[in-house]
Amino acid sequence: MTNLDSDAFVFFGATGDLAFKQIFPALQAMIRHGHLNMPIIGVARSAKGLDGLRARARESLEKHGGVDPQAFAALSAKLQYVNGEYSSPETFRELRKALGSASRPLYYLAIPPDLFETVAQGLANADCDKGARVVVEKPFGRDLASAQALNKTLHRSFPELAIFRIDHYLGKEPVQNLLYFRFANSFLEPIWNSNYVQSVQITMAETLGVEGRGVFYEEVGTIRDVVQNHMLEVVALLTMEAPVGHDADAMRDAKQRALRAMRPLTPGDVVRGQFRGYRDENGVASDSQVETFAAIRLHIDTWRWAGVPFYIRAGKRMPVSATEVLVELKRPPQDVFDTISQGQADYFRFRLSPDVTISLGARAKMPGEAMVGETVELVVRQSSVDEMTPYERLLGDAIRGDPTLFVREDGVEAAWGVVDSILGNGTPVHEYEPNTWGPAEADQIIAGDGGWHNPEPTKAEALAVKQ
């Protein structure tokens, strides 16, 4: 531990769903890898006490990754518990006692955003905010105005340098590999522009529906849930210029310039869909207009990317679960042998989940007398194992005070600025059948570029379809 590292970890909402699914598994993994040696204090409104919190942690690990006996014993020994209402000054006085000599705590607000101000004010009133850092979970607002208001709320108690807005997607190894591949290879730079790139497609497909989270999904929808954050972040990584330095702000400055260059969307750039059966989910209105699918055409107003369309597609109840980027290059200027049509041109393919692949699609001659070709794929990198989970990586970075993989205030607001004008029900929702690629209207978005590229199923998915 350095003199800049946090010296206590406190998570509000310790008995909640996020802690159960993500935080406890990340904490055990950090302990197992020797990356966490400090008090761990859970704060919640449950009256089950410390034994109840330890039981909750064990249940979490049994369902999410497994219990490592040695690491769990260390986690249990470090755990402390503060029970109380977030609106009560007594809760924060008890927290101040539990912190003891810790002077640089890291607070994780695994609670609804409408409680952020209450908790931040409680920390300040109990003198718990000095030297502290705070981690907040997305959503960072519901639109541009609410994001700006949320940022103002956080800044009343914490400077921007102490605020870590966590988007787990940025901690995924494949997403980091996308950024590395771009700037670690000189062969890519000469063609990574509008002179050679025809279009870019990004698809995030899920076979699952809302899985009992109807109430939550009625509040967000696909655009708020994954497009405004995950998908636009991927576009920023694909289109940003090289950072001018190695520090965190250099990287985030480069991403911010890419986000600011994204042209605000108009209704004609968007097709929304809703899978048949969504309205039958618990908590969903019988006449709901919330989208479970969105197809978007985006433009980047920079010299490098002028005229190149970026097509984003995200949805639930799709035929496969996969996230994939396809960068299609322009056809050769003249057909020397056979005719190369749209969909047969060279491309780069980045498969981000569930398996990880970086590959180059190219043309090669087919065996025989005729000079005709076929598309072959040259695999650059393929793997299926991500040893460190996103939450483990991001919590470790927050403890060290490294903000590189976290979202900055201006980045949040720039991303909301892209989608702000198309939020709500300004465009119709088209029904689509489950296990399809969304409503037929989505094809209109990409009609000029040869149609959507549908990610291939994994071997397990393909086998399930055959059976």
**Residues forming the active site:** 230
Please list, residue by residue across 398-411, b when 16 or more beta carbons sit within 10 angstroms of its beta carbon and e when fewer do: bbebebebbbbbbb
Question: Which residue(s) pair with 72 in the sheet?
Answer: none
Q: Which residues contact 205 (CB under 8 A, 6 or more apart)?
A: 313, 314, 315, 318, 319, 320, 321, 322, 323, 437, 455
What's the order of all strands across the beta sheet hosting 133-137? Answer: 79-83, 40-44, 8-12, 105-109, 133-137, 163-166
Do 108 and 9 contact (CB within 8 A), yes or no?
yes
Helices (H), ranges, 10-167: 17-18, 24-32, 49-63, 69-78, 89-99, 116-125, 144-155
What's the order of all strands across the beta sheet hosting 429-432? Answer: 373-383, 356-365, 347-353, 322-329, 197-205, 309-315, 293-299, 270-275, 429-432
In the 3-class helix/strand/coil scheme, how is 174-218 assigned residue by residue? HHHHHHHHHHHCCCCHHHCCCCCEEEEEEEEECCCCCCCCHHHHH
The rounded Cα 37 to chain-centroid distance in angstroms is 28
Q: What is the DSSP letter of 333?
A: S
- Going 280 to 284 to 289 to 293, the CA torsion angle's sign is negative
What angle do the packed helices 24-32 and 390-400 form, to 10 degrees?
Answer: 70
Helices (H), ranges, 227-323: 232-239, 248-260
One-letter amino acid of 423: L
Q: Which residues contact 274 (CB under 8 A, 6 or more apart)?
A: 288, 289, 290, 291, 292, 293, 429, 430, 431, 432
Q: Which residues contact 411 (CB under 8 A, 6 or more apart)?
A: 252, 255, 256, 259
Question: Residue 209 to residues 98, 167, 408, 454: CA-CA distances in angstroms?
Answer: 41, 21, 31, 19
Token readout for 360 is 């180059």
